[in-house]
Amino acid sequence: MTLQLGDVAPDFNADTSEGRIDFHDWLGDSWAVLFSHPKDFTPICTTELGYVAKIKPEFDRRGVKVIGLSVDSSERHEKWADDIEKTQGTRPNFPMISDTDFNVSKLYGMLPASAAGTYSGPSRYRWVTRPCPDGSGLLTRRSVVPNALDRSPREPATLIRRVVA
């Protein structure tokens, strides 16, 4: 089943760089932006996450949570965070989901159900959710960016500025 805008964001439990989370509990009554990347240490993803870390105070002022995802382990995320800090001047200041079993990627339709092993998707995804009265989140925006292209990480920030007070 393909996720559509307006669908409830799928809930999941996952290990992150800041500990284990239940997504809907973590989301609470906040808006959120999920940045998905196929693998750690990819150049465009490194640049994007460094930029997002720099502008995170803008998201914080609006009560918007930021979370990243990669199919690599939390230990590898830590090494990647060191590299991001070294190359971009800012360390990620938000949790990074360790999706080594592809569970979250498959729930959100970012990888095919048959994906296994060291599969890495052909695209980066960005999801924006808005809060629901029941504590879940509704999908309000999805963008898919082929890995070969660079897209501005400012796009979700611009959307948030327009729709969240």
Active site includes 132? no
Q: Mean pLDDT over residues 145-154, rounded? A: 56
Domains plus CATH for the chain? 13-163 (3.40.30.10)
Question: Rounded to whole angstroms, what are the CA distances from 158 to 2, 33, 52, 58?
Answer: 26, 12, 12, 10
The band of 164, judged by pLDDT with boundaries at 50, 70 and 90, is confident
Q: Which residue has the tokens 């296994």?
A: 116
Q: Mean pLDDT over residues 95-105, rounded? A: 91
The band of 4, judged by pLDDT with boundaries at 50, 70 and 90, is confident
- Look up the pTM and report it: 0.81
Predicted confidence (pLDDT) at residue 122 exceeds the cutoff of 60: no
More confident residue, 79 or 125: 79
**Burial of 97 from C-beta contacts in 10 A (0-12 / 13-18 / 19+):** buried
pLDDT at 17: 93
DSSP 7-50: SBPPP-EEEETTEEEEHHHHHTT-EEEEEE-SSTT-HHHHHHHH
In single-letter form, the type of residue at position 118 comes to T
Question: What are 21's two structure tokens?
Answer: 């989370």
Q: Write down the catalytic residue from 27, 33, 45, 96.
A: 45
